[in-house]
Structure 1
Amino acid sequence: MALVLLNPHAQGGRAAKQIPVLQAWLKRHAPDCTLAAPGQLADSLALLHSLPKGSRVVAVGGDGTLNRWLPALLARQLTLGLVPMGSGNDSARALGLDGMQWEAALQHALEAPARLVDTGAVSWTDPYGASHKTVFLSSLTTGFDSAIALRALNGPRWLRGLPRYLWATLKELAQLQTWPLSVHADGQPLAIGPALFASSLNTPTFGSGLPAVPHARINDGQLDALLAGPFNRLGVCLMLPRLLVGWHLSHSKVQTRPYRVLDISCPNGVPLATDGEYLGVATTLKVQCQRGSLSVVANAFPGTHDSPAGFEAEAAHLQ
């Protein structure tokens, strides 16, 4: 038995239209499964927390959906299946699920074996001295990327996916700024001084498919820091086309580094977002890789030679 949990607000509310067809499919193919689509986040979280540990949950939604449900998934040690139905779907890309028809994705999520992947955890302090903690599956961004995330969340409803992200990027260029960051990876200084952004990737892409760190893997036991130094508007405009095709890592002001623990400080405060969800402004933050912390039903890991036949072996290795 499994719970199919749909976020009716995914895709700007369009996901709710799939409820009747999902109910009909489950009645024919998986009558023991339950479909739920709570309208409030608190109700979804309460439902997840009520499940026995180790239960399988099929999430119907996108990166924002997973970000909101991830704390409960981890706390209850639930196995996650995914039917991609969001605007970004970067987690789905990392799991080899993006582009699958929903019927195939749902059947795969219900029946295929699970394997362990990493998640990220961040603890941060806001300018008022209050402490916060959260987790993420795909990415954490600070600086320019987070400012874009806020604009994208408040952007036009008729724009979806990458076009929405690019629209937000162009809008943010009009108020371009840098932040004085001090960044240490595993205790070693990585960057000190003005920076455009300092992001952490658990997946190869963010921002609806932008290949931010093409070599990043969701199951390699580490996160990847992506840092950009000070850029002016022209520099950002010249760098963005390189980002679209994954050529930005050769730029002299861009660097990446794998890590287990990342520390960032910014006396003035820097905007923060996880999985495209804006969190607020942080003065200090610590990011940690939670190795093998989430059980997921993946199809394959793009860019590797992984196959479903090896899923159980890796899961045993990580445990």
Structure 2
Amino acid sequence: MSPYVLFVVNPAAGRGRVGQMLERLERLIHQQASGLKVEVAVTQRPGHATELAQQAPPQSRVVAVGGDGTVHEVVRGLVGSDKVLGVVPIGSGNDFARMVGLHRLGLEGAVEAALRAPAQPVDLGLVNQQPYGASLGIGFDAAVARKALEAPTFLRGMPRYLYSLFGVLRELELPHLELYQDDHLVYQGPSLLVALMNAPTYGGGIPIVPQAVPTDGRLSVAVAGRFSRLGVVGILPRLLTGRHVHHPRLRFFQGEAFLVRFDRPVPAHTDGELIPPSSEYRVRVLPKGLAVAGFAG
């Protein structure tokens, strides 16, 4: 049992829902924390969760209260330490929580697990030396996420996604990809997207690589090759239900290290958070890189 538990609460998560729940959350945490030293810290700006996680004392638990973006920031502050990650998933995606089975617990169950459940290790990904927990997406999906930042503010949810999707489709021009696995060239050609996954899902439950396992010491990779605009629209329903895996223009790989090289800078996201576009991404797995409270393995 950890002598100190820090809850890092992102009030903007879940499209502001966490901020609206803040008093209820604090009350629930203190009700369940009997016998433990607990602190609740509310993030004030991007990157603040990473700072708070870094400042937490050794051997403590740091609990991300929010979505995948909050988890991502906390993970960046915990890598290389003896601290344990807890997750109370109240975001719009929650793919990390889905990966470790915490999305099924409900609010009270997730708080209890964060406080007292045993911790087990999971793998992490590293892209250009920066850690990520569940997913790295490069190409089309990241371009859609970037386009969404430019969408009219009155658009929410699916209308915002469709606006962004068709905006990217209008400009679609596939980059040329060279993918190396452990220094061996395994794919060369046009590419719609590359997903290098620790989790089976991203984007709020899309099973992009259903066979991914976060404890096998490997990353699971999906490469979508040459797709036309019509082809992209056609595969989306199959992708949402996991029926895309036998498509002839999709390739799947598993390994410990990958080099993703394009002929021009291509946008990317880690755990749903946009990172600067690059023409080269060096990606590897960090086996058992993080201990997670409540993960049954």
TM-score with structure 2 setting the length: 0.91
d(CA) in 2 for partners of 1:68, 1:118? 16
d(CA) in 1 for partners of 2:159, 2:122? 29
Residue 264 of structure 2: which of 265, 268, 273 is its match?
268
The answer to whether the Cα contact below 8 Å between 1:51 and 1:76 also exists between their aligned partners in 2 is: no
> Which residue of structure 1 lines up, in the alignment, with residue 51 of structure 2?
46
d(CA) in 2 for partners of 1:100, 1:158? 31
SS at match of 1:141: strand
What's the C-alpha RMSD, in Å, of the aligned pairs? 1.9
Amino acid across the alignment from 2:98: R
Residue 119 of structure 1: which of 115, 124, 147 is its match?
124
Residue 88 of structure 1: which of 93, 118, 134 is its match?
93
> Which residue of structure 2 lines up, in the alignment, with residue 107 of structure 1?
112
SS at match of 2:211: coil
> Which residue of structure 2 lines up, in the alignment, with residue 180 of structure 1?
176
> Which residue of structure 2 lines up, in the alignment, with residue 297 of structure 1?
293
Query: Does 1:286 pair with 2:287?
Result: no
Note the 1:49-68 alignment, pairs <5 A: 49-68=54-73
The answer to whether the Cα contact below 8 Å between 1:165 and 1:207 also exists between their aligned partners in 2 is: no
SS at match of 1:94: helix
The answer to whether the Cα contact below 8 Å between 2:49 and 2:70 also exists between their aligned partners in 1 is: no
Amino acid across the alignment from 1:141: G
Task: Decide whether aligned partners of structure 1 residues 252 and 61 sit closer, same or farther in structure 2, where only a CA change above 3 A counts.
Answer: same
Moved more, 225-234 or 40-49: 40-49
> Which residue of structure 2 lines up, in the alignment, with residue 208 of structure 1?
204
The answer to whether the Cα contact below 8 Å between 2:52 and 2:77 also exists between their aligned partners in 1 is: no
d(CA) in 2 for partners of 1:85, 1:55? 22
d(CA) in 1 for partners of 2:102, 2:162? 23
Once the two structures are TM-superposed, the CA of residue 178 in structure 1 deviates from its matched residue by: 0.7
Once the two structures are TM-superposed, the CA of residue 157 in structure 1 deviates from its matched residue by: 7.1
> Which residue of structure 2 lines up, in the alignment, with residue 230 of structure 1?
226
d(CA) in 2 for partners of 1:180, 1:43? 37
SS at match of 2:235: helix
Moved more, 213-222 or 142-151: 142-151
d(CA) in 2 for partners of 1:283, 1:47? 32
Amino acid across the alignment from 2:217: G
SS at match of 1:11: coil
Once the two structures are TM-superposed, the CA of residue 172 in structure 1 deviates from its matched residue by: 2.2
> Which residue of structure 1 lines up, in the alignment, with residue 193 of structure 2?
197
Structure 2 stretches of 5 or more lacking a match? Answer: none
The answer to whether the Cα contact below 8 Å between 2:198 and 2:219 also exists between their aligned partners in 1 is: yes
The answer to whether the Cα contact below 8 Å between 2:5 and 2:63 also exists between their aligned partners in 1 is: yes
d(CA) in 2 for partners of 1:229, 1:196? 6
Amino acid across the alignment from 1:115: Q
SS at match of 1:213: coil
d(CA) in 1 for partners of 2:78, 2:284? 18
Task: Decide whether aligned partners of structure 1 residues 286 and 144 sit closer, same or farther in structure 2, where only a CA change above 3 A counts.
Answer: same
Once the two structures are TM-superposed, the CA of residue 163 in structure 1 deviates from its matched residue by: 7.1
d(CA) in 1 for partners of 2:159, 2:101? 22
d(CA) in 1 for partners of 2:58, 2:213? 26
Task: Decide whether aligned partners of structure 1 residues 164 and 69 sit closer, same or farther in structure 2, where only a CA change above 3 A counts.
Answer: farther
> Which digits, 9 at most, give the CA deviation of each residue in 1:132-168, with x for residues without a partner?
x4211111111112102213455557634x7765553
Query: Does 1:159 pair with 2:164?
Result: no
d(CA) in 2 for partners of 1:153, 1:103? 33
Task: Decide whether aligned partners of structure 1 residues 153 and 94 sit closer, same or farther in structure 2, where only a CA change above 3 A counts.
Answer: farther
Structure 1 stretches of 5 or more lacking a match? Answer: 124-132, 300-307, 312-319
> Which residue of structure 1 lines up, in the alignment, with residue 5 of structure 2?
2
Amino acid across the alignment from 2:270: T
Amino acid across the alignment from 2:95: D
d(CA) in 1 for partners of 2:163, 2:288? 35
